[in-house]
């Protein structure tokens, strides 16, 4: 009868005690085994048997065959693992190989048939075909059918288990690749952010050394908090806004009244988890390419809101806008030229973390300036 599906996780160790092996085998007598038994009972009704009587025999025989076969395979796998030498990965999942399984299935099928039939006889008052009742030919035919059913069930569940294990392994590889990609993106973002901040400090040193000293003190605190936060996979949205507030205070020391800021975070959204430094590159771009080139500076606004089951984060400035920035880069050799690093980072992180569920848009705002919009799926239950 059927074997358990392969575990979708990493191979688990073989149980260490006989009782644990029995529990493991019983746990894997799952719904598919019961459906298989019901199908056999339905087939037996075509020969004139009562469906309910056939169902009792089928369930008892089928489940006992499954328990005996699974108990045997766990015991064989444990014994083979105790022997010296290399062991195939399937052995650690409780699969000793077809060379061992075929005789085990035959023995387990015969034992399950005899034991299950005897229990069913007690429950139904019937007498099943047994060799000690002088029905050798009939018993051999019924036993052969049981053996075929056990082998077919074993092959079916083994094949399905191998497929599930392969799919789980592929999914695990995909998750590891995504995690590695995120770590790579984050490791690239940290020095980029540090370089931009130091470049701002360098520009201030020659203009106002005293203010540069104050800015350096703030910079040390800011970098310590930011780099510590970047070592985590996610932090509360309030922490993301706190880091932005620290960064904007540094920029205001350089730009003075030319830089005005608005940070809007509703209290009910403050604890939502978000990737660290997700908004930082967008804020940097708004200042560097949108507001700072203007003599008058301008307003930088960062907002969070809930919309249709998603978390919407926006970074908006009323600076010169995307088209003007591109035109200036083409015509003015002294203009600040963007590398696209920040927006590329945001796009890649969004795609890696959320796939099609996350969206990032960078557009011209109708009233002037640039608008960056992020749509993040909200965690379930929020």
Q: Among 128, 157, 173, identify where a domain stops.
A: 173
pLDDT digits (tens, 9 = 90+) for 49-84: 788 888 888 888 888 888 888 788 878 878 888 888
In a domain, 121, yes or no: yes
Range ranked top by mean pLDDT from 81-95, 241-255, 294-308: 294-308
* pLDDT at site 183: 57
* pLDDT at site 93: 67
In a domain, 57, yes or no: yes
In a domain, 146, yes or no: yes
In a domain, 186, yes or no: no
Is the domain of 221 the same as that of 139?
Answer: no
Question: What's the pTM value of the predicted model, to 2 decimals?
Answer: 0.51
Instruction: Name the more confident of 203 and 184.
Output: 203
Is the domain of 158 the same as that of 230?
Answer: no
Query: What's phi and psi for 276, nearest 5 deg?
Result: -65, 150
Is the domain of 40 the same as that of 123?
Answer: yes
CA 34/CA 2 separation, integer angstroms: 10
Instruction: Name the more confident of 372 and 187.
Output: 372
pLDDT digits (tens, 9 = 90+) for 175-192: 655 555 545 545 554 565
Is the domain of 168 the same as that of 214?
Answer: no
In a domain, 382, yes or no: no
Percent pLDDT > 70 in the chain is: 69
Is the domain of 89 the same as that of 224?
Answer: no
Q: Among 117, 148, 173, identify where a domain stops.
A: 173
* Mean pLDDT in residue range 236-244: 91
Is the domain of 222 the same as that of 342?
Answer: yes
In a domain, 182, yes or no: no
Is the domain of 169 the same as that of 31?
Answer: yes
Q: Among 119, 152, 173, identify where a domain stops.
A: 173
pLDDT digits (tens, 9 = 90+) for 79-101: 888 888 777 776 676 677 777 88
Is the domain of 60 the same as that of 123?
Answer: yes
In a domain, 197, yes or no: no
Question: For every residue of the chain, which 3-state class applies, written as one string?
Answer: CCCCCCCCCCCCCCCCCHHHHHHHHHHCCCHHHHHHHHHHHHHHHCCCCCHHHHHHHHHHHHHHHHHHHHHHHHHHHHHHHCCCCCCCHHHHCCCCCHHHHHHHHHHHHHHHHHHHHHHHHHHHCCCCCCHHHCCHHHHHHHHHHHHHHHHHHHHHHHHHHHHHHHHHHHHHHHHHHHHHHHHHHHHHHHHHHHHHHHHHHHHHHCCCHHHHHHHHHHHHHHHHHHHHHCCCCCEEHHHHHHHHHHHHHHHHHHHHHHEEEEEECCHHHCCCEECCCCCHHHHHHHHHHHHCCCCCCEEEEEEEEEECCEEEEEEEECCCHHHHHHHHHHHCCCCCCCCCHHHHHHHHHHHHHHHHHCEEEEEECCCCCEEEEEEEECCCCC
Is the domain of 228 the same as that of 328?
Answer: yes
* pLDDT at site 87: 75
Is the domain of 148 the same as that of 229?
Answer: no
Q: Is the pLDDT of residue 357 over 70?
A: yes
Is the domain of 280 the same as that of 137?
Answer: no
* pLDDT at site 142: 67
Q: Is the pLDDT of residue 174 over 80?
A: no
Average pLDDT, the chain: 76
* pLDDT at site 30: 65
pLDDT digits (tens, 9 = 90+) for 331-352: 665 555 555 777 888 888 888 8
* pLDDT at site 2: 37
Residue (of 240, 233, 256) closest to 313 by Cα position: 240
Domain count, the chain: 2
Q: With contact defined as beta carbons under 8 Å apart, do 373 and 360 qualify?
A: yes
Instruction: Name the more confident of 104 and 237.
Output: 237
* pLDDT at site 359: 93
* pLDDT at site 107: 84
Is the domain of 230 the same as that of 351?
Answer: yes
In a domain, 293, yes or no: yes
261: domain CATH number is: 3.30.565.10
Percent pLDDT > 90 in the chain is: 15
Range scoring the smallest mean pLDDT among 119-128, 132-141, 150-159: 132-141
Range of 97's domain? Answer: 18-173
């Amino acid at each position: 009868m059927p074997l358990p599906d392969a575990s979708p996780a990493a191979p688990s160790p073989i149980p260490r005690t006989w009782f644990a092996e029995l529990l493991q085998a019983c746990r894997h007598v799952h719904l598919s085994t019961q459906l298989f038994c019901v199908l056999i009972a339905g087939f037996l009704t075509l020969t004139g048997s009562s469906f309910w009587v056939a169902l009792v025999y089928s369930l008892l025989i089928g489940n006992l065959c499954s328990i005996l076969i699974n108990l045997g395979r766990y015991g064989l796998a444990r014994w083979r693992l105790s022997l010296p030498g290399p062991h195939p990965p399937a052995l650690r999942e409780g699969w000793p190989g077809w060379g061992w399984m075929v005789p085990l299935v035959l023995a387990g099928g015969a034992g399950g048939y005899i034991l299950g039939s005897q229990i069913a006889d007690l429950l139904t008052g019937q007498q099943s075909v047994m060799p000690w009742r002088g029905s050798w030919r009939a018993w051999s035919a019924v036993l052969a059918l049981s053996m075929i059913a056990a082998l077919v069930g074993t092959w079916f569940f083994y094949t399905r288990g191998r497929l599930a294990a392969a799919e789980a392994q592929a999914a695990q590889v995909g998750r590891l690749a995504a995690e590695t990609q995120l770590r790579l993106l984050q490791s690239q973002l940290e020095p980029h952010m540090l370089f931009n901040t130091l470049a701002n400090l360098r520009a201030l040193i020659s203009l106002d050394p005293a203010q540069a000293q104050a800015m350096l003190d703030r910079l040390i605190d800011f970098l310590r908090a930011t780099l510590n936060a970047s070592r985590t996979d996610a932090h509360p949205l309030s922490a993301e806004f706190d880091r932005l507030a620290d960064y904007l205070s540094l920029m205001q020391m350089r730009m003075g009244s030319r830089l005005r800021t608005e940070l809007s975070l509703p209290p009910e959204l403050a604890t939502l988890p978000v990737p660290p430094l997700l908004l930082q590159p967008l804020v940097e771009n708004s200042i560097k390419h949108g507001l700072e080139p203007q003599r008058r500076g301008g307003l930088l606004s960062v907002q969070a809101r809930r919309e249709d089951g998603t978390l919407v984060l926006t970074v908006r400035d009323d600076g010169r806008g995307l088209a003007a920035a591109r035109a200036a880069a083409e015509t003015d050799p002294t203009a600040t030229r963007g590398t696209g690093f920040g927006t590329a980072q945001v796009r890649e992180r969004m795609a890696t973390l959320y796939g099609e569920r996350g969206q990032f848009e960078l557009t011209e705002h109708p009233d002037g300036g640039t608008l960056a919009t992020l749509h993040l799926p909200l965690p379930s239950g929020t």
